[in-house]
Each structure stands twice: as structure tokens, then as C-alpha cells.
Structure 1
Amino acid sequence: MAPIPTPSAEPADPTEAYVGLSADVAERRAREQGWTTVRSLPPGAIITLEYLMGRINFEVEGGTVIRCWRG
């Protein structure tokens, strides 16, 4: 039987650091920090709440990140 993989650690940068940035700059910075998945969403988007290791979520309004969270 194959061993169970160990998930890699998520980047340690604070999510608050992305709020106020343009969506393009925030996505570029997140990828540079090691986030494997970057998801941009409009305000009020209906999404599933499963936690995905290595994903960072941006709520974007008018091209600017207004909220950010992990998973």
C-alpha cells in the first residue's frame, strides 16, 4: 500500500496584506509567495466551503481585493 502523502505547508504571509491591492498585483504576489491556487471572486459569490490546502481566495470589487482568506 502506498504511503499517505503529507500536505506541504501553506505560505506564512498574512492574508490582510492582500487587502487593498489590485487583483493583478495580489495574484502575482500570492504566486510568488508559494500559493498553488489563487481564486478571485466577485462580492457575494456563492461558493463551496471545502478547505483546499495551498489555496488563497480574493474577493474582488472594482479590480481591488476587498477581502482575503485561506483555503
Structure 2
Amino acid sequence: MLPRMSDLLPGQDSIDLQDFLKLRGVVETGGEAKFRVQGGEVRVNGGVETRRRKKLRRGDVVEYAGQRLTVEG
């Protein structure tokens, strides 16, 4: 198994929710990310999040389609 790369780039302290979903491969396009987030299908730290540009930080937990993903830095 390959080591997991960081979700955040060096010097970066946050990532947009829609970019995180694309980076992790749970959606294929930005359009799909927008649709899923604005449709209330994504949870961040236990609450429904409808802002696709919500800034995620290291340790935040994103839930979508039965997957639970933690932002890694």
C-alpha cells in the first residue's frame, strides 16, 4: 500500500470542501461536488454542510456516500 499524501500543500492551512472531495476521488468533477454539497449530501464534523467553498482544516472529518474522511496535513 502506498503512503497517503497530505491533503494540504506545504504552507497551506486549509482546502475548499469541493476540492477535497475531488482530491480524495469521491466525486469526479467540480460540478458533481457542487451538486452534492449544495444538495445537503455532505457532512463536516457531524453537521450538514451546504457551502462548497467551506474551508477545511487538518483534522476535520467529512462524510459522504458512506465514507468518512479526515483532512490530513
Q: TM-score, normalised by structure 1?
A: 0.29
Q: Which has the higher strand share?
A: 1
